């Protein structure tokens, strides 16, 4: 006799237990030509959202379709719990900082928290009814996965594909770690295009436009476009950096936009990717003004101890005091 009110939670749980007990979605129970599904494991970085449901539901439709067409579907599942998103998740939840803990202690904390979050993820996937083979559940921070990664690294090293060299990299002063471009979000903020005065060897004014005046202590060269006749007489001479009195070489490069600002640009280590290109191309010196904590070092002279925004204000104030700041048009 049909129940008056269907208790979906009761039968949903019963179905889940049956699927797991009988290993319904195991390859053993679905013989045929092999069809493998390798999905990117979801990142352990907080709560699941509707986007997770959409993406993995689509994959599951393919898995079920292939089984119905006689394929033996290899459909493992895993969790990406070895990376910056997981570290930030743990730091926020436990109110700690990774750089203030020992490496082993923080790894263990991440493992403990990841296990709890992964179980919540798995419970939701099972409720959704994903037809994965949970016998092949994996974790990117598991000992076996890290061992495989380390073995691969050693093999690449032995083949000569790995080297060590100082290279510029994106760095987060909050997380105290390097980050990839994929982990960044662009955000437009109001800024000023500051026109400031350098001096050439004869004491004449050289006008430079920049949005990063706080990087003056890291200035290592001035550049102009080879087709720009205004500055041909300066090639190979030196200019003096305002406030910091460092002498830098004046050079030419086709990447300089003659129509932007005065057509004369300063190269700093580092303000953007083009600075890195010029730094490598011309083998320029490296002047690090900003420390790993996001504050200026002794290289910054009177800026030492200030963060980037406060340093920018301090530089602009001194430039005004010395009549070295001409204009400040807004970019946004």
CATH of the domain at 319: 3.90.740.10
Percent of the chain exceeding pLDDT 70 equals: 99
Q: Which of 128, 153, 178 is the last residue of a domain?
A: 153
Position 90 pLDDT exceeds 70 = yes
**In a shared domain, residues 130 and 25:** yes
| Counted domains in the chain | 2
The residue among 191, 164, 169 whose CA lies nearest residue 180 is 169
**Cis amide bond preceding 225, omega within 30:** no
Confidence of residue 175 (pLDDT cuts 50, 70, 90): confident
User: Which of 46-50, 89-93, 235-239 reaches the highest mean pLDDT?
Assistant: 235-239
Neighbours of 39 (CB within 10 A): 17
For residues 268-283, one letter each, b for 16 or more C-beta atoms within 10 angstroms of the residue's C-beta and e for the rest, the string is bbbbeeebbebbeeee
Sheet strands (E) in the chain: 34-36, 72-74, 77-79, 137-139, 171-172, 177-178, 194-200, 205-210, 219-224, 238-240, 247-252, 264-268, 325-327
For the CA atoms of the chain, what is the radius of gyration? Answer: 29
> What is the arithmetic mean of pLDDT over 220-233?
96
The residue among 256, 283, 266, 164 whose CA lies nearest residue 210 is 266
**In a shared domain, residues 126 and 41:** yes
pTM of the model: 0.73
Q: Which of 96, 130, 153 is the last residue of a domain?
A: 153
Q: Is 170 contained in some domain?
A: no
For residues 62-89, one letter each, b for 16 or more C-beta atoms within 10 angstroms of the residue's C-beta and e for the rest, the string is ebbebbeeebbbbbbbbbbbbbbebbbb
Q: Is 19 contained in some domain?
A: yes
Q: Which two tokens stand for residue 237?
A: 């001479």
Q: Which two tokens stand for residue 127?
A: 């409720």
**In a shared domain, residues 51 and 143:** yes
Look at 33 and 50; give whichever has higher pLDDT.
33
Residue-level pLDDT at 325: 95
Percent of the chain exceeding pLDDT 90 equals: 55
Position 324 pLDDT exceeds 80 = yes
Look at 46 and 11; give whichever has higher pLDDT.
11
Give φ, ψ of 173 to 5 degrees: -75, -15
Distance CA 98, CA 176 (A): 8
Distance CA 181, CA 159 (A): 28
> What is the arithmetic mean of pLDDT over 38-46?
82
Range from 30-34, 46-50, 147-151, 202-206 carrying the lowest mean pLDDT: 46-50
Confidence of residue 285 (pLDDT cuts 50, 70, 90): very high
Residue 204 CA, distance from chain mean position:
42
Look at 61 and 116; give whichever has higher pLDDT.
61
- Contact present, 273 and 283 (Cβ < 8 Å): no
In sequence order, the β-bridge partners of residue 209 are 195
Position 127 pLDDT exceeds 90 = no
Q: Is 6 contained in some domain?
A: no
State the chain's maximal CA–CA distance in angstroms.
Answer: 102
Distance CA 115, CA 120 (A): 9
The CATH number linked to 115 is 3.40.50.620
- Contact present, 191 and 330 (Cβ < 8 Å): yes
What residues make up the domain containing 130?
A: 13-153
Which position has the token pair 């900003």? 290
Confidence of residue 1 (pLDDT cuts 50, 70, 90): low
Angle at 125 between CA 122 and CA 129, to 5 degrees: 135
């Amino acid at each position: 006799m049909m129940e008056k009110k269907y208790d979906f939670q009761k039968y949903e749980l019963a179905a889940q237990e049956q699927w797991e007990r009988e290993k319904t979605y195991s390859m053993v129970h679905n013989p045929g030509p092999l069809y493998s599904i390798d999905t990117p494991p979801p990142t352990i970085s907080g709560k699941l959202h509707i986007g997770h449901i959409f993406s993995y539901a689509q994959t599951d439709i393919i898995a079920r379709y292939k089984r119905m067409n006689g394929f033996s579907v290899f459909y493992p599942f895993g969790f990406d719990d070895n990376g910056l998103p997981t570290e930030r998740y743990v730091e926020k939840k436990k109110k700690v900082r990774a750089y203030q803990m020992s490496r082993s202690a923080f790894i263990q904390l991440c493992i403990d928290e990841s296990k709890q979050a992964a179980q919540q993820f798995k419970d939701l996937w099972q409720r959704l009814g994903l037809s994965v083979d949970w016998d092949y559940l994996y974790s990117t921070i598991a000992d076996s996965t890290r061992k495989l990664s380390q073995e691969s690294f050693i093999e690449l090293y032995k083949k000569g594909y790995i080297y060590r060299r100082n290279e510029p990299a994106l760095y987060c002063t909050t997380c105290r770690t390097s980050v990839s471009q994929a982990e960044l979000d662009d955000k437009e903020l109001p800024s000023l295009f500051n026109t400031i005065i350098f001096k050439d060897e004869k004491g004449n004014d050289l006008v430079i436009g920049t949005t990063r005046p706080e990087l003056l202590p890291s200035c290592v060269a001035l550049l102009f476009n080879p087709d720009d006749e205004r500055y041909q007489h300066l090639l190979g001479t030196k200019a003096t950096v305002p406030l910091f009195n460092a002498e830098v070489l004046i050079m030419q490069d086709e990447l300089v936009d003659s129509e932007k600002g005065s057509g004369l640009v300063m190269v700093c280590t580092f303000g953007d990717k083009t600075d890195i290109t010029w730094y490598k191309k011309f083998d320029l010196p490296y002047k690090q003004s900003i420390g790993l904590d996001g504050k200026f070092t002794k290289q910054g002279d009177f800026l030492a101890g200030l963060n980037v925004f406060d340093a920018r204000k301090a530089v602009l104030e001194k430039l005004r005091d010395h009549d070295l700041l001409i204009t400040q048009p807004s970019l946004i």
